[in-house]
Amino acid sequence: MLNDLVVLVFLFMDRFIEILYERKEFIFQLVDDGLKKLGLGRYADRLSGTFSGGNKRKLSTAIALVGDPPLVFLDEPTSGMDVGARRFLWACILSVVREKEGNKGEGKGRSVVLTSHSMEECEALCSRLTIMVNGRFRCLGSVQHLKDKFGSGYTLIVHCKGEQGAESVAEQLSARLPPGAIIREAHHNRLRFQLPRGTCTASQGSDAQDESMTPIRLSAVFRAMEDAREEGLVEDYSIMQTTLEEVFIRFANEQKDANGVGEEEVIAQGKKSHRRTLIGSSACCYPRLSSVQSRRYKASISGGAV
């Protein structure tokens, strides 16, 4: 039945009873704005069942935004979308969060709670993020906070000069790098070092680190690597922080240790059931929802277009 409805009908339904007779002049403008925001204007008179998967996701998001609700729930809003459509929808979600009201520049932005399996999506959209394991919250904070607290530190990738052997360069670099740097891989002309969680920048200082670790300053690592490059030991190098994917894998491995389940099975389960939840604004205090709003949210949830 839902596949046989025209897009305009979808967007009318949610606000029809509430405002049609009281503010009829606004309803057409409201629907038109929703179509334009999500790029669905040219599909307004088409049946929703004829839509591609990406446009169905956009329509679901448009329905969730009808009426300017102060709190929006989005469940996997970009699942199955191509890269271009996914980034377009990300921009729409960010505009909703950051939206300003009128010329006064006052905050009108809404809070967005989003669940996603995409690490890229979490990093692009979220201001606060939580990882859930078996239905329980395991951590909550900004992306950078989670990387600092639960990550494994930094990874140093080194490409040696063609005439230099990886093992020989690894020994020399190990002597130059601060204590705590561990060689994880030496293959052909490529080396990979692990810098522990105690690694910090000069601005962070030692207060931001684990008390049980001696901080390694990145400035010392860069100094050692630049010296090695000037001496011809190193062709190039890069330093990167722990990714969100690595943070997730750490929680998955902890779950494996607790339940005695194989690693491959845990990670497979994690990709299906573990959710990262995005709170799209720093304000977490919401007024009590009115009965009309509550019914709307329940209807949206049951329709799968939250």
Query: Which of 141-155, 187-201, 220-234 is predicted with the least confidence, judged by mean pLDDT?
Result: 187-201
- pLDDT category at 157 given cuts 50, 70, 90 is very high
- Overall average pLDDT of the 30-34 stretch: 77
How confident is the model at residue 269, as a pLDDT? 46
Is there a domain that residue 132 lies in?
no
- Residue entry with tokens 């890269």: 83
Which is more confidently placed, 279 or 173? Answer: 173
Let me know whether 122 and 27 are in one domain. Answer: yes
Same domain, 194 and 229: yes
Same domain, residue pair 180 and 68: no
Determine contact, residues 27/73, Cβ cutoff 8 Å.
no
- Say how far apart CA 130 and CA 142 lie, in whole Å: 9
What angle, rounded to 10 degrees, do the helices at 24-37 and 53-65 form?
140
CB burial readout 176-201, b (16+ within 10 A) else e = bbbebbebeebeebebebbbbbbbbe
Same domain, 118 and 50: yes
- Asked, for residue 259, whether it belongs to a domain, the answer is no
CA 262 vs. chain centroid, Å, equals 27
SS3 content of the chain, % helix, strand, coil (to 5): 50, 20, 30
Q: What is the mean pLDDT of residues 206-218?
A: 56
Q: Are 12 and 116 in a shared domain?
A: yes
**Residue at 262 is within a domain:** no
Domain containing 30: what range?
2-127+280-302
**How would residue 16 be classed by pLDDT, with cut points 50, 70 and 90?**
low
CATH number, domain of 206, equals: 3.30.70.920
- Are residues 118 and 216 part of one domain? no
Pick the residue with more confidence: 253 or 21? Answer: 253
- Asked whether residue 254 is assigned to any structural domain, the reply reads no
> Would you tell me how many other CB atoms lie within 10 Å of the CB of residue 236?
11
Which of 219, 241, 263 corresponds to the end of one domain? 241
Average pLDDT score over the chain: 72
Strand partners, 195: 154
At residue 31, does pLDDT exceed 80? Answer: no
Same-domain check for residues 87 and 165: no
In a domain, 263, yes or no: no
Query: What is the structure's pLDDT at 113?
Result: 92
Same domain, 168 and 228: yes
Residue where one domain finishes, among candidates 220, 241, 262: 241
Q: Which residue has the higher pLDDT, 19 or 159?
A: 159
Q: In whole angstroms, what is the distance from residue 184 CA to residue 195 CA?
A: 10
Q: Taking 60 as the threshold, does the pLDDT of residue 302 lie above it?
A: no
In this structure, the answer to whether residues 24 and 93 fall within a common structural domain is yes
**CB-side neighbour CA atoms (13 Å) of 92:** 26
- CATH (domain of 64): 3.40.50.300
Cα–Cα distance between 131 and 65 in angstroms, integer? 25
Domain for residue 246, yes or no? no
34 or 235, greater pLDDT: 235
At 86, the pLDDT band (50, 70, 90 cuts) reads very high
pLDDT at 30 over 50: yes
Structural domains of the chain, count = 2
Domain match, 188 and 93 both: no
CA distances from 237 to 189, 198, 244 (A): 12, 21, 22
Residue 164's nearest CA partner among 218, 221, 223, 236 is 236
199 domain residue, yes or no: yes
User: pLDDT (tens digit, 9 = 90+) per residue, 231-258?
Assistant: 888 889 999 888 888 888 888 777 666 6
Amino acid letter, 153: G
Percent of the chain scoring above 70 in pLDDT: 64
Q: pLDDT category, 98, cuts 50, 70, 90?
A: confident
Q: Are residues 118 and 164 in the same domain?
A: no
Among 15-19, 33-37, 38-42, the range scoring the smallest mean pLDDT is 15-19
Domain final residue, candidates 189, 218, 241 = 241
Of 205 and 285, more confident:
205
0.95 surpassed by pTM: no
Q: What is the pLDDT of residue 199?
A: 59
Does 289 lie in the same domain as 237? no
Instruction: Check residue 108 and give its pLDDT.
Output: 64
Mean pLDDT over 74-99 rounds to 90
Does residue 133 lie in a domain region? no
Tokens representing 88? Answer: 């377009």
Residue 216 has pLDDT above 90, yes or no: no
